Amino acid sequence: MSTVVTGIGELVTHDERFTSDLGVVTDAAVVVEDGRVAWTGPARHAPAADRVIDLAGRAVIPGFVDSHTHLVFAGDRAEEFEARMVGRPYDGGGIASTVAATRAATDDQLRANLVRLVAEMRSQGTTTIEVKSGYGLAVADEVRSLRLAGEVTDEVTYLGAHVVPPEHRGRERDYLDLVTGEMLAACAPHARWVDVFCEPASATAFDGDAAREVLLAGQRAGLGLRVHANQLGAGPGVRLAVELGAASADHCTHLTDADVDALAAGTTVATLLPTIEFSTRSPYPDARRLLAAGAVVALATDCNPGSGFSSSMPLAIALAVREMRMTTAEALRAATLGGAQALRRDDVGHLRVGACADLTVLDAPSYRHLAYRPGVPLARALDLS
């Protein structure tokens, strides 16, 4: 069946056929056939279709691509958030409490929380989601997390190297052997990506040498690479990500000139997570410096129960504009095309002919309202079923 979605006041396509910034078409229509974009352009030229959906002047954008989330968990760390708001710094130490709660949860409890969060994201306009493990940190618990993640997305990431779990403290070498050996072998069939929390400034995360071991082992097992890099302080994560050809270096909060130059010269996307700086009361990454150097920037939520429990790409966009001085167009590009590039996907993040028909509708006349109206629930994924 074909559908023409018409009455679109402003359509963002990222299609270079339309020479305006972001490939914007006004008074537009989109024809969808078999789940793919079959035609875009001015509504008055739209071909006929089996069904018509009239959006009465609303804006349509490509669905958000949230390329970094941790949605398989149990429990809640609201108290840790409140302690941060009165001055306690974030150091990743609270991850252990989520690991304990996640291990104690049943499959159905984890699944119910995961499905609820995915629905929450879709209702805010997100149509592609990456999901990491990392709150199991034992072979069976990591496999279970990845299996559950695979029920909601193809973009599944093995993060056995999130932190060294409490039962391995003081025996970090053993844990690294497990993560790169038996745990990796059990997890790789259920994942597309491997990630590591490379953060020498955290007592429980991994230094550059350990992170290199994890990434190289994951690569040998056929996984693509991603890195949690330079969140709490400057360190080797970003340059390691670029050197090994990782798809993305995520956080990028503390960057040296050499880090910025490496990102600009390489193929690794700099994924910025401003809801984390918001929720940890930390300085925001310097997006302007990255953009000026020519790096590709993505925005994602990093939705997790600890460092930032927001599932909202519109909030990430509003913060990127208000706090990181991105233009709204730059922020929207980063939240769609940038996220797709961070996942090495060319079928999402845009609405060119042939793309997945992931349309997000705004209860607003323009994408600009995403930053102009912070906190207002304007965006939703369009249900074409």
Applying CB under 5 A, the residues found at the interface with Fe ion are 302
Per-residue contact string for residues 268-307; x = within reach of ligand NIG by CB under 6 A: --------x-------------------------x-xxxx
Q: How far is the CB of 99 from ligand NIG (least distance, A)?
A: 9
Using the rule CB under 6 A, is 228 a contact of ligand NIG?
yes
Q: Confirm or reject binding of residue 136 to ligand NIG (CB under 6 A).
A: no
160 scored as a contact of ligand NIG (CB under 6 A): no
CB of 331 to Fe ion, least distance (A): 20
Q: Binding ligand NIG by CB under 6 A: which of 40, 67, 69, 98?
A: 98
Q: 54: part of which helix (H) or strand (E)?
A: strand 51-54
Residue 231 interacting entry, from ligand NIG, Fe ion, none, C-beta within 5 to 8 Å by type: ligand NIG
Q: Reduce the secondary structure of 231-261 to three states and give it as a string.
A: CCCCCCHHHHHHHCCCCEEEECCCCCHHHHH
Q: Whole-number minimum distance, CB 305 to Fe ion, in Å?
A: 11
Residues in the chain: 385
Q: How far apart are CA 224 and CA 192, in angstroms?
A: 6
Instruction: Provide, rounded to whole angstroms, the least separation between the CB of residue 55 and Fe ion.
Output: 34
Identify which of 64, 54, 51, 240 has the alpha carbon closest to the alpha carbon of residue 161: 240
**In whole angstroms, what is the distance from residue 185 CA to residue 217 CA?**
10
Q: Which is nearer to ligand NIG, 32 or 252 (CB)?
A: 252
Number of residues lying near ligand NIG (CB under 6 A): 14
Order of all β-strands in the sheet with 297-299:
64-66, 126-132, 155-161, 193-198, 224-229, 248-251, 269-272, 297-299
CB-closest chain residue to ligand NIG: 306
Residue 94: contacted member of Fe ion, ligand NIG, none (CB under 5 to 8 Å, by partner type) = ligand NIG
Among 40, 231, 275, 360, binds ligand NIG (CB under 6 A): 231
| Residue 28, burial from CB neighbour count under 10 angstroms (0-12, 13-18, 19+) | buried
- How many C-beta atoms surround the C-beta of residue 185 within 10 A? 12
Question: Residues interacting with ligand NIG, by CB under 6 A?
Answer: 70, 92, 94-95, 98, 197, 228, 231, 276, 302, 304-307
